[in-house]
């Protein structure tokens, strides 16, 4: 199955500024109902024009390019307001059929998901887009998807407002972040993070790094977990060299940093277009390759690992040393290349939190963002151009 996990990157202007078939049948009537156009007052206030959307109902088992280098960021409490009683309904983005960005609808009356014993309910403050969100919406893996209608969104950062009876380490008021889906392609949650609230298992979450704001934290989970697991599976270790294809993307920017700062790479090379070469260097790349002018596969130097985040598997194998590994996230796989689908786990985020808090590993968010909650459609359209740098973030969420 085509891997879908390449993500995109935010860099402060002070560092860099150049400008990573048939739909499933609908849920039963008690799960979903259409609603009429909400009032012009609401539309004006939300700056969202929509005449009709799909409503999710709760069921019996229920959503300037800047590198954030400052490890002395303002306390998160600046963003945190008093936690209000949890409502029964929430604002969310929903799609009731597979297709293009036009299937996305804003719904102000989606039922807040129920919380299972091992889950917490999060008041979402920020969320982030990944290419997997677009592929899922297009129906690329409908056979293993959750039922429609869907509230999209994998990455989340927010505040715990309710905890299930088996939750051990989290409590109301905790600031957390994570990828809400343990497996990206296997029954991802029907209620994603593009909503005011989402329910997620405690094991998938970690405390938000103290120096990062919610938008920065939301940009990390799926991309950094993919980068970390790919490096581990490749057998990467201290003293080895690596070539990162798509170094300016969400996964690529983090592979560069993890390889250097966490795994102890002897040399990191990475590819990008001309305008992003300085970004690669600022993240720790020893060799920045302009793919518009140079063929990486023709370089005399070969690497212990090639991490291909852009789908050039046939060329990737020409750049790896004998006995080396090629990690492939998308496109065709040529031996010795291999593909994997990330398994998300909050323990990886907890392990990496000290690197985030020290500033050794930095989130990177696209300069066009963060996008406000009213512009989720625009954010989807942008990430699907394939031109985003780093992560595309949605913030604030009402």
DSSP letter for each residue of 133-181: HHHHHTTTTGGGSPPSSBB---EEEEEEEEE-TT--S--TT-EEEEES-
In the chain, the largest separation of any two C-alpha atoms, in whole Å, equals: 65
Whether the pLDDT of residue 37 is over 80: the answer is no
Same domain, 192 and 255: no
Which of 47-61, 128-142, 375-389 is the least confident region?
A: 47-61
**122 bridge partner residues:** 160, 198
Residue 14: which pLDDT band, with cuts at 50, 70 and 90? very low
pLDDT at 15: 35
Same domain, 136 and 244: no
pLDDT at 353: 98
Mean pLDDT of the chain: 85
CATH code: domain of residue 269: 3.40.50.720
- The CA distance from 128 to 33, in Å, is 27
Parallel, antiparallel, or unpaired: how do β-strands 303-308 and 241-245 relate? parallel
Same domain, 264 and 369: no
Buried b (16+ CB within 10 A) or exposed e, 39-59: eeeebeebebeeeebbbbebb
Which structural domain range is residue 370 located in?
A: 89-208+365-394
The answer to the question of residue 138 being in a domain is: yes
Same domain, 118 and 186: yes
CATH code: domain of residue 386: 3.90.180.10
The residue assigned the tokens 């002897």 is 266
- The CA distance from 84 to 115, in Å, is 17
- The CA distance from 26 to 28, in Å, is 6
Mean pLDDT of 123-151: 97
Whether the pLDDT of residue 117 is over 60: the answer is yes
The answer to the question of residue 284 being in a domain is: yes
pLDDT at 8: 39
pLDDT at 56: 56
Same domain, 292 and 239: yes
Same domain, 234 and 267: yes
Number of domains within the chain: 2
The answer to the question of residue 69 being in a domain is: no
Same domain, 155 and 179: yes
Enter the pTM of the model.
0.82
Q: Which two tokens stand for residue 42?
A: 């609401």
Cis peptide before 149 (omega within 30 of 0): yes
DSSP state, 319?
G
300-343 confidence digits (pLDDT tens): 999 999 999 999 999 999 999 999 999 999 999 999 999 999 99
| Interacting residues of 22 by C-beta distance below 8 A, sequence separation 6+ | none
Distances (CA, A) of 311 to 143, 167, 325: 23, 40, 15
**31 bridge partner residues:** none
pLDDT at 51: 36
Same domain, 239 and 154: no
The dihedral built from the CA positions of residue 10, 346, 378 and 84, taken in this order, carries a sign that is negative
Same domain, 289 and 374: no
pLDDT at 65: 46
Whether the pLDDT of residue 232 is over 80: the answer is yes
The answer to the question of residue 167 being in a domain is: yes
Residue 123: which pLDDT band, with cuts at 50, 70 and 90? very high
Helices within the chain (DSSP H only): 40-46, 131-137, 214-218, 221-233, 250-261, 277-283, 313-316, 346-358, 376-383
Same domain, 93 and 199: yes
- The CA distance from 38 to 181, in Å, is 31
Q: Which two tokens stand for residue 128?
A: 């982030």
pLDDT at 85: 83
- The CA distance from 213 to 159, in Å, is 12
Same domain, 143 and 195: yes
């Amino acid at each position: 199955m085509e891997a879908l996990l390449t993500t995109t990157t935010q860099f402060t202007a002070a560092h860099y500024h150049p400008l990573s078939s048939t739909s499933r049948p609908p849920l039963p009537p008690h799960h979903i109902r259409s609603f009429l156009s909400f009032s012009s007052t609401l539309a004006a206030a939300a700056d969202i024009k929509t005449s009709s959307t799909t409503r999710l109902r709760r069921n019996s088992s229920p959503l300037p390019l800047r590198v954030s280098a400052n490890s002395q960021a303002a306390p998160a409490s600046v963003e945190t307001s008093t936690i209000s009683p949890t409502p029964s309904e929430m604002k969310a983005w929903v799609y009731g059929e597979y297709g293009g960005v036009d299937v996305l609808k804003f719904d102000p009356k989606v039922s807040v998901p129920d919380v299972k014993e091992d889950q917490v309910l999060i008041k979402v403050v920020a969320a982030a887009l990944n290419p997997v969100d677009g592929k899922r919406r297009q129906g690329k893996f409908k056979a293993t998807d959750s039922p429609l209608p869907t509230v999209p969104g994998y990455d989340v950062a927010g505040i715990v407002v309710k905890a299930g009876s088996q939750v051990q380490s989290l409590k109301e008021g905790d600031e957390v972040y994570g990828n809400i889906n343990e497996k990206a392609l296997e029954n991802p949650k029907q209620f994603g993070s593009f909503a005011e609230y989402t329910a997620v298992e405690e094991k998938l979450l970690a405390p938000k790094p103290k120096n990062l704001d919610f938008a920065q934290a939301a940009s990390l989970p799926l991309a950094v977990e993919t980068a970390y697991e790919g490096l581990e599976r490749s057998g990467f270790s201290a003293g080895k060299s690596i070539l990162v294809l798509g170094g300016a993307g969400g996964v690529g920017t983090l592979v560069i940093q993890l390889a250097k700062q966490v795994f102890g790479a002897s040399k990191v090379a990475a590819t990008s277009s001309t305008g992003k070469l300085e970004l690669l260097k600022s993240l720790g790349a020893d060799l920045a390759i302009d793919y518009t002018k140079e063929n990486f596969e023709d370089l005399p130097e070969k690497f212990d690992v090639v991490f291909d985040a852009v789908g050039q598997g046939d060329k990737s194998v020409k750049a790896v040393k004998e006995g080396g590994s090629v990690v492939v996230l998308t496109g065709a796989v040529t031996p010795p290349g291999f593909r994997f689908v990330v398994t998300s786990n909050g323990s990886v985020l907890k392990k990496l939190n000290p690197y985030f808090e020290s500033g050794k590993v930095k989130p990177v968010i696209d300069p066009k963002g963060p996008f406000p909650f009213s512009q989720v459609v625009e954010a989807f359209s942008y990430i699907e151009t394939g031109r985003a740098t780093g992560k595309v973030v949605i913030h604030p969420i009402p």
